[in-house]
Structure 1
Amino acid sequence: MKTLTCITALVLAAASAPAFAQDRIAEPSTIIVTGEGMGEAQPDVFVVDAAAQGRGATQAEALRALAGVQARLLDGWPRLEGLTQAEATTGATSIEPRRDPQCEENARREEHCAVLGYVASTAISLRGAPAERAGDALSLASDLGANSARLDEYVLSNRQALRESANRAAFEDARRQATLLAEASGQRLGRIVRIQDPSAARYNSDDEATQIDEIVVTGSRIRPGVSLEAAPDAVGVSARITVVFEIE
């Protein structure tokens, strides 16, 4: 009985083998292509950093002088004429003794030189919109008493729409490549089998929206003494996707 059972199993396996072979042959042919796309948009947010200082014979005097400059910047900077959104924040603050430079150059240790006064310093940053007002923000910082100011960066507040545009362009590029390859081989492009985005893991940090407080104006708007034009370059986002198409 055991021998008969084994023979029966072998016969059934042999009979079904052509069916398996036909199933494998029936699997559709595919084309795998990688498309690339780019999305561009004008930035809508700027960031300007300023440094403010206060000097005095004592630490208290230096801090009071710094507080005056800081108050002018925090109050007046967001009220720049033309801003629709603004947020001013303070950064690191320090106070250092001011000594005779000639003594410091010749003395073995700076502690041996007499203190002539103190300098208190702080950093203040303005994030505002629209981006075209960055030049005037830089100019106004000087008017309000900043020792120095610089345009730090332009930002696109929400990159999601730009990312979607780049993905659409990458997919169209992939479809175009696949169509050309299918036609060159005498085939016709069929349905999409799989879409893979190898760079998707990077999107989370890039696509976060930059939130800025809406301006609540409690005083008159301020014009800078000198108006500066700002024309930021477009922000670009690239996308790369792999698409598998059937061909018929």
Structure 2
Amino acid sequence: MSKPLFAILLGLSATGALAQTVPPPQIQVTATGIAKTSPDRVTVAYQVRGEGTTSDEATAKARDSAKAIRTGAEGLLRGDMELHASDFDIAPVRSRECNRDGYGQAQLSTGPCAILGYVVTMPVSIDTPRIADAGTLAGLIGRLGGLQVGVRGYWLSDDRPARQQAMRTALASAKAQAQLIAEGSGARLGRLLRVDDGTNRDMAIVVTGARARVTPPPPPPPAAPPIQIDLSPAPIRTNVNVTVVYAIDQ
């Protein structure tokens, strides 16, 4: 009698151990939340160019052109802008005869390969919150000598509020899906177990103290008012994808 009883107890113990390893019933769903937010920053890019028979002459012309464009842009935007210029190139110019059979090889600066002059180029970009003035700014830069001028993009200075809004939408959608699945299977939706958005991004809003801003003195107005260009940028789409796991209450 002792051996069968021992076997039964061992079987019950194994069954209990197996039951402990089986996870409780769960529902896992994925959802996407989208937030559409009007941009609050715009980037306008252009190129400054200077030409001269010497490197210094070309550099001075590029410098003067850059100053004129910056002065005009500050006048239009009332100084509410950030200008970025981190690249500066000086290239010698030779006759076409020098490059005819060169195949990219180094050439001595004599004969047909003598240096005729220099070209200086400097790419520049302006970031500003004055969205409505983006097209007008591009036209003004072209008038003042900027080359390859264009509105390069609209963006958000801080996308955290938009991501939080998209996250709330995604979580609400995920809960609705899980509720439908639970009802369809005759179960009752339990508590939220896990949320994964795949980014590990900190969603907290950080409030920082206001920084003092120095406003430059107003520059002299241009010779003629700039041509007004009205643009209507599309809203910025912020997507958040989440995987949500809910428990099932039996």
- Normalised TM-score (structure 2): 0.77
Count how many residue pairs are aligned between Structure 1 and Structure 2. 233
Q: Name whichever structure is richer in helix by fraction.
A: 1
Q: 1:110 to 1:236 in 2, by over 3 A?
A: farther
User: Does structure 1 conserve the Cα–Cα contact (< 8 Å) formed by 2:135 and 2:230?
Assistant: yes
Q: How far, CA to CA, are the matches of 1:176 and 1:30 in structure 2?
A: 15
Q: How far, CA to CA, are the matches of 1:105 and 1:200 in structure 2?
A: 52
Structure 1: gaps of 5 or more residues:
1-5
Q: How far, CA to CA, are the matches of 1:25 and 1:65 in structure 2?
A: 77
User: Does structure 1 conserve the Cα–Cα contact (< 8 Å) formed by 2:51 and 2:58?
Assistant: yes
- 2:199 corresponds to which residue? 200
Measure how far apart 1:191 and its partner are.
1.5
Matched-pair identity in %: 25
Structure 2: gaps of 5 or more residues:
none
What SS is found at the alignment partner of 1:91?
A: coil
Counting only pairs closer than 5 Å after superposition, residues 106-145 of structure 1 correspond to structure 2 as 106=100, 111=109, 112-113=111-112, 114-145=114-145
User: Does structure 2 conserve the Cα–Cα contact (< 8 Å) formed by 1:45 and 1:154?
Assistant: yes
Measure how far apart 1:187 and its partner are.
2.1
- 1:185 corresponds to which residue? 185
Q: Using the TM superposition, name which of 111-120 and 25-34 deviates more.
A: 25-34
Corresponding residue to 1:88 among 73, 83, 96: 83
Q: How far, CA to CA, are the matches of 1:96 and 1:18 in structure 2?
A: 81
User: Does structure 2 conserve the Cα–Cα contact (< 8 Å) formed by 1:63 and 1:120?
Assistant: yes
Question: Aligned Cα RMSD in Å?
Answer: 3.6
Q: 1:222 to 1:32 in 2, by over 3 A?
A: farther
Q: 1:15 to 1:220 in 2, by over 3 A?
A: same
- 1:216 corresponds to which residue? 215
- 1:3 corresponds to which residue? none
Q: Using the TM superposition, name which of 91-100 and 58-67 deviates more.
A: 91-100
Q: 1:56 to 1:26 in 2, by over 3 A?
A: closer
Q: Using the TM superposition, name which of 225-234 and 177-186 deviates more.
A: 225-234
User: Does structure 1 conserve the Cα–Cα contact (< 8 Å) formed by 2:83 and 2:125?
Assistant: yes
- Normalised TM-score (structure 1): 0.77
Q: How far, CA to CA, are the matches of 1:118 and 1:22 in structure 2?
A: 81
Corresponding residue to 1:98 among 70, 93, 103: 93
Measure how far apart 1:154 and its partner are.
1.5
Measure how far apart 1:177 and its partner are.
0.7
> Aligned partner of 1:240: which letter?
N
Q: Using the TM superposition, name which of 57-66 and 17-26 deviates more.
A: 17-26
User: Does structure 2 conserve the Cα–Cα contact (< 8 Å) formed by 1:82 and 1:133?
Assistant: no
Corresponding residue to 1:61 among 57, 66, 70: 57
- 1:44 corresponds to which residue? 40
Q: 1:222 to 1:190 in 2, by over 3 A?
A: farther
Q: How far, CA to CA, are the matches of 1:76 and 1:40 in structure 2?
A: 33
Q: How far, CA to CA, are the matches of 2:244 and 2:88 in structure 1?
A: 53
Cα distance per residue 1:80-114 (max 9 Å; x no partner): 2477x31112131122233334x346565684324
Measure how far apart 1:138 and its partner are.
0.9
Counting only pairs closer than 5 Å after superposition, residues 166-185 of structure 1 correspond to structure 2 as 166-185=166-185
Matched, 1:154 2:137: no
- 2:66 corresponds to which residue? 70
- 1:231 corresponds to which residue? 232
Q: How far, CA to CA, are the matches of 1:12 and 1:116 in structure 2?
A: 101
Measure how far apart 1:158 and its partner are.
0.6
